[in-house]
Amino acid sequence: MYADGSAGTPAEGSTRLFNVKMRASRGGAHVSGAERLVPAARAAKTAAALAERAMSRTACDPSAVHIKIEPAESALRIPAVPVSEFRAKSHAEARAFARRLLEDAGIARTDGILEMFSGLRGMRGAVLLDVDSLERLEPDRARGVRVTALDSSPSIPPCAGLGKDHFSEAVVLASKVLAAPGMIGEICVSDDPGYNTGYVSLKGRGYCRISNLKDPAAAGGGRIFLFRGSRAEAQETIRWLETRPVVVENVPPRPGAAAQSRMEGIEAELREIERRGLYRRCRLLECEAGPHTVCGGRELAVFSSNDYLDLARDPRVKQAAADAALRWGAGTGGSRLVTGTLPPHEELEKRIAAFKGSESAMVYATGYMANVGAIQALVSHGDAVFSDALNHASIIDGCRLSGAEVFVYRHLDLEDLGRKLSLARMFRRRLVVTDGIFSMDGDAADVPALEEMCARHDAFLMVDEAHATGVAGKTGRGLCEHFGCPPPDIVTGTFSKALGSEGGFVCTSSALAEYMRNKSRPFIFSTSPSPAQVAASAAALAVLESEPWRVARLRENTALFASLLQGTVPERIDGAIVPVVVGDERRAVEASERLLEKGFLVPAIRHPTVPRGLARLRVALSSSHREDEIRSLAAAVRELVRQDAPSAYLV
């Protein structure tokens, strides 16, 4: 029998369970923790996965990770509590609903309980509260009561990735709490200022997830365990919660997550996206690409295009595309390994390989596919990939899809990368991936230092030069020309930015190129780029090689704009992108619209492209921008900064 009088079933059977605990700290302070109850055969893999989870969370940045494996004696199997969800439209409605739940459970002093959350913050454990006297019963108020030795069945797979299933983990915890002696219920309100959902769990009612339970004006949050009994009984309850191994069975999915009609919730989600200032829509431009455009009948100066060298409208590039379409057709009819390799494809691969100083190259339909395809080909299960915290979404998705263990290191932090590499020697293969020039911040990776570190740790290095090709280096060959270093193992990039066309590329050694032609799924299973597309890219490369003045002009324009906004934009600008961080998403959209009124097309970049609270205006310069319009835009931005508060770079 377990605490509430129901029959519990021993969990072990013929398989002994072990409790695998991970505790991560930084400078002696706790930053992360997790545990799993698993059979002996899974204990080692689970320990490695939990350690990797701690090391890969940039927000944790642990200086030490401790793993403890101990037998889970007399573990019990108990059923998960029932789950429900209440979608409150406001905090007031959520609080009223929570109060009603507590009152229905026979708890009188509901307002006093709910008011306690305003004074809670930073506790690792929970408050153990006498529901009648509102006396706190936990022996150490700073520590609180910590529920440990619990898991679900089937357990969350030990190598299922870095993300947490917060809903399932909350239901598992609530199930054990309600099974403990003397427990009446639990209330949880997150202390994360960006998360407003909480829950109430009660005996006889189960777990109820409540949106808007957190007061948006309050900083506090935590867990309160609702208890009724003597002080001696409270000590037994604490011992049970902290030491009794429990396996929770049949954890249900989040209400509505598995049984929605096709369109249920879609409109509500869109309204919520719009409310948070994150709604996106396409803007129709009414003329060809270039530094100026027409939108809604108005002429605008374009400071948002990645066509850094103004090659998309170059007559030579357009003519090459037209000639190729007439000669080779509009499409290829198949993938590169079937009917999709024509002379224009081979010519472009030879040209981009020579341009980048590599032995070989592969051309993809998009730069996104090049990144996903290269990562997926090189690493998989049993391997490790190390990704800069501000890498592009295509790199992030490639890492996730590869199946490799993903380690995220702090932005441009070689010390953090080295520490993570040193802890990953057990993996079969290691790959470090970074943007060359970061698309939202304009700073560059230190390629020579990365090459030295990867050589020391026997890791591959892949650098995405989407925003460095045609931008960095005296003749636009990229960061290796800029630093005067040999090319890394893999260089990826795109023809759709400085080269004004479409498509992506991978430049590497002949051996790795041959390997990827046989392993890269986007290369194998996608129709190849059209002849017009690859011919335009080859022509743009030829123009760049013959007219390096475009690179110099672009650099001059970028330096001018940054100098005019000194103190408002970052001091370090390595590419053609100058971010003006606004902070709030809605304010960023408003600032973009105000610039549009003044005749400047400058986009507002918001979450999830950048972290929440770091929305920005992303100014992209072109070699064809005139000095007068650069100065006019800088003056308009300065005026916005004066009116709306300093840039977040100064906060």
What is the rounded CA–CA span in Å between residue 520 and residue 311? 30
Of 497, 501, 530, 623, catalytic: 497
30 catalytic, yes or no? Answer: no
Q: Contact 353/369 with Cβ under 8 angstroms?
A: no
Pairing of strands 206-210, 83-86: parallel
Tell me the three state secondary structure of residue 574.
coil
Order of all β-strands in the sheet with 577-583: 577-583, 615-620, 604-605
- DSSP-assigned letter for residue 569: B
Q: Contact 499/348 with Cβ under 8 angstroms?
A: no
What is the rounded CA–CA span in Å between residue 555 and residue 559? 6
What is the rounded CA–CA span in Å between residue 4 and residue 8? 10
Tell me the three state secondary structure of residue 443.
coil
439 catalytic, yes or no? Answer: yes
466, amino acid identity: A
Sorted by sequence, the CB contacts under 8 Å of residue 71 that are 6+ apart come out as 16, 17, 18, 19
Helix (H) or strand (E) holding 376: helix 367-378
Using only C-alpha atoms, what is the Rg of the chain? 29
Pairing of strands 76-79, 9-10: antiparallel
Helix (H) or strand (E) holding 517: helix 510-517
What is the rounded CA–CA span in Å between residue 477 and residue 479? 7
Order of all β-strands in the sheet with 405-409: 360-364, 504-508, 490-494, 460-464, 430-435, 384-388, 405-409
Cα-Cα end-to-end distance for the chain: 57
What is the rounded CA–CA span in Å between residue 203 and residue 206? 6
What is the rounded CA–CA span in Å between residue 367 and residue 503? 6
The 8 Å CB, 24+ separation contacts for 98-101 are: 98/187, 98/198, 98/200, 98/210, 98/213, 101/200, 101/202, 101/205, 101/208
Of 214, 467, 482, 625, catalytic: 467
Q: Contact 183/227 with Cβ under 8 angstroms?
A: yes
DSSP string, 84-147: EEE--SSHHHHHHHHHHHHHHTT---HHHHHHGGGG--S-SSBEEEETTT--B--S-TTT-B--
Q: Which two tokens stand for residue 538?
A: 């080859």
- The residues that bridge with 78 in the sheet, in sequence order, are 248
What is the rounded CA–CA span in Å between residue 259 and residue 253? 10
CB count within 10 Å of CB 9 equals 14
Of 387, 439, 526, 528, catalytic: 439
What is the rounded CA–CA span in Å between residue 298 and residue 43? 65
Q: Look at residues 30, 40, 29, 33 and name the one whose alpha carbon lies nearest to residue 67.
A: 33
- 317 φ, ψ to 5°? -70, -45
Q: Look at residues 607, 557, 549 and name the one whose alpha carbon lies nearest to residue 583.
A: 607
Sorted by sequence, the CB contacts under 8 Å of residue 479 that are 6+ apart come out as 436, 437, 444, 445, 447, 463, 465, 468, 472, 473
Query: Which amino acids are annotated catalytic?
Result: 439, 467, 497
